[in-house]
Structure 1
Amino acid sequence: MKSAMGYLNFNYAIILIIILCFPFCKTRSRSYGEPITLQRQNIKQFYKIAKIDSIGNVFVIYARKDSSVYKIVSTKSEENCERLLVGKSYPLLLNNLVQKTVDSHKVSRHAIPHLGGIMYYGAPIIFEPDSILDIYTALNLSGLCLK
Structure 2
Amino acid sequence: MKKIIFILIATYILYSCGIKPKIIDGYNYRIVKIDSIENTYLIYAEKVNVKIKNTSIIKIVSAKVETKCKRKNLIIVDKNYKLDIYSLSPENLVSHNIRGITYNGTLIPFDKDYNIKKDLFIAKNLNGLCYKE
TM over 0.5, yes or no?
yes
Instruction: State yes or no: 1:64 paired with 2:46.
Output: yes
Q: How does 1:1-147 map to 2 (within 5 A)?
A: 45-65=27-47, 66=50, 67-81=55-69, 82-101=73-92, 107-109=93-95, 113-129=96-112, 130-131=114-115, 132-147=117-132
What secondary structure, in the 3-state scheme, does the structure 2 residue paired with 1:74 have? strand
**Where does residue 14 of structure 2 map in the other structure?**
none
2:108 maps to a residue whose letter is I
Is the contact made by 1:48 and 1:90 (CA closer than 8 Å) also made in structure 2? Answer: yes
Larger radius of gyration: 1
What secondary structure, in the 3-state scheme, does the structure 1 residue paired with 2:97 have? coil
TM-score by length of 2: 0.67
2:130 and 2:76 mapped to 1: Cα distance? 10
1:115 and 1:48 mapped to 2: Cα distance? 28
Shift of 1:124: 1.4
Q: How many pairs were matched up?
A: 98
TM-score by length of 1: 0.61
RMSD between superposed Cα atoms in Å: 1.9
Unaligned runs of 5+ in 1: 1-41, 102-106
2:123 maps to a residue whose letter is A
How many percent identity over aligned positions?
40
- The 4+ residue runs of structure 1 with deviation greater than 2 A are none
CA gap of 1:97–1:63, structure 2 versus 1, over 3 A, is same
Per-residue displacement from partner, 1:60-94 (whole Å, max 9, x unpaired)?
Answer: 00001114101000001211222100110100000
CA gap of 1:114–1:61, structure 2 versus 1, over 3 A, is same
Unaligned runs of 5+ in 2: 1-23
